[in-house]
Amino acid sequence: MSFPGDQLIPLVDEGLGNSAYLLDLGDGRALAVDASRDLRALHAAAERRGLTVAYAADTHLHADFLSGAVQLAHDHGATILASAAGLRAFDHQGLTDGDEVDLGGLTLRTLATPGHTDEHISLLLLDGRDELGVFTGGSLIVNSAARTDLLGIDRTQELARAQYRSLKRLTALPDGTAVWPTHGAGSFCSAPPGSERTTTIGAQKQANPLLAATDEDSFVSQLTASLGSYPAYFDRLGEANRRGPAVITGTPLLTDLSAERVRALVADGGHVVDVRPAAEYAAGHIPGSLSIPLRGQFATWLLPDTAPLVFLTADGQDLGEIVWQAYKIGYERLAGRLAGGTGAWTAAGHRLTTTVFVTADRADGRPYVDVRQESEFTAGHVPGAFNIELGGLAHVAADAPEGAVVACGHGERAMTAASLLERAGHTDLAVLDGGPADYAAAHGEQLVQGTDDRS
């Protein structure tokens, strides 16, 4: 039987760069795969079709988001399907290699595919004996494979070798088998990131450069050479997912706070996160605040969750989006938002500070610090630029050149970087309103490829 494409609903989280899937089983029930704790899109898709989620499957202990499986068990009565080797501390059906789950007409077969994590599984969807597609999670992804360094640098090579064997196993499936990965474009788990979300086994045999590696050693070298930095919260979410995220009841809200209450929270170790557009932050912000413009990638750059967070917002920004993005990665110490914004802050007698935000034609004469991922930098950068990935900047802020122009692709990540550098004591910084192509065009230069070209 051919598989009706409209039965499978991909739910793409552009901010995380990941895809969850909702499979309509045809009888009012559904299977959810790798759903995050932010279930707004999934619930809406299920409601549109009149579906109840009967099964919530996770391919692995996710490091980049909290799983929504426990919440789906609470909200829908879903049976949680996950690797038995993950030793999850909540009710679930533990799966081992070869186990099959009858979905009511379709079957889900477990394939052990370690590499991205030790307990990683892929889930092969069968109609009788026909392989319809495989949920590959963080194993085989479009034109790549997921990173293998999340369990520590000392295990990277070992897990990369496991990843090699897992990909060999998956590519033994028929060429027409659909591949439905979790990680994709924009995901820190992709190594390197790609652009397409789904593929087939046959297409990957032709196009995936990792599958063209001549042997296991070459595969390992190629995969590990593409690993960039990743956010600090990755180090704790695997264990948080093993224990199981707390169930959310009701809609979490941000409380309005006075300027004096915000000042007291900061004095007690709290942090101010300014989610306004980069230009508004540059024009005037609370000293020491962190700039993270509210967009799909917002939560990726939040501070460690060891202190309360206060938010400074612009008129019309979606407060619910702030909360759900934070909750999705386990940030729940949200103290509230500054009522009245910067106007309330200055009215209470407190000062603002500014950051220089310049167009490319006014950014000459400064060291150029590029905070994009290494893969982005390598693809094309300003000659002589310093590459310090934003994900690792806080650890090396003292090494950044003074008086630099800080840049990324458009300006948002660069403003975040500048706010981190200012917190670390840097002064006389500027942020580029634009990207490397804008700078090169304004200064009559050509972008160069490869690694750092400074002599």
Question: What is the phi/psi pair of residue 338, to 5°?
Answer: -70, 110
Residue 303 pLDDT: 67
Could you report the per-residue pLDDT of 206-257, keeping only the tens digit for each?
999 999 999 999 999 999 987 877 777 888 899 999 999 999 998 888 999 9
Residue 307 pLDDT: 86
CA angle 37, 142, 188 (to 5 degrees): 45
Residue 125 pLDDT: 97
Q: Is the dihedral of CA 193, 198, 200, 201 positive or negative?
A: positive
Burial 407-422 (b: 16+ CB within 10 A, else e): bbbebbbbbbbbbbbb
Q: Compute the distance between CA of residue 181 and CA of residue 135 in angstroms, rounded to an integer.
A: 6
Q: How far is CA 3 from the centre of its chain?
A: 30
Note the pTM of the prediction, 2 decimals.
Answer: 0.88
Average pLDDT, the chain: 91
Q: Compute the distance between CA of residue 264 and CA of residue 326 in angstroms, rounded to an integer.
A: 22
Could you report the per-residue pLDDT of 22-80, keeping only the tens digit for each?
999 999 999 999 999 999 999 999 999 999 999 999 999 999 999 999 999 999 999 99
Mean pLDDT, residues 104-128: 96
Could you report the per-residue pLDDT of 277-330, keeping only the tens digit for each?
999 999 999 999 999 999 877 777 766 677 899 999 999 999 999 999 999 988
Whether residue 33 contacts residue 135, with contact meaning beta carbons closer than 8 Å, is answered with yes
Percent of the chain with pLDDT over 90: 77
> Would you say residue 107 has pLDDT above 80?
yes
Query: What is the layout of strands, in order, in the sheet containing 190-191?
Result: 140-141, 144-146, 190-191
Could you report the per-residue pLDDT of 45-57, keeping only the tens digit for each?
999 999 999 999 9
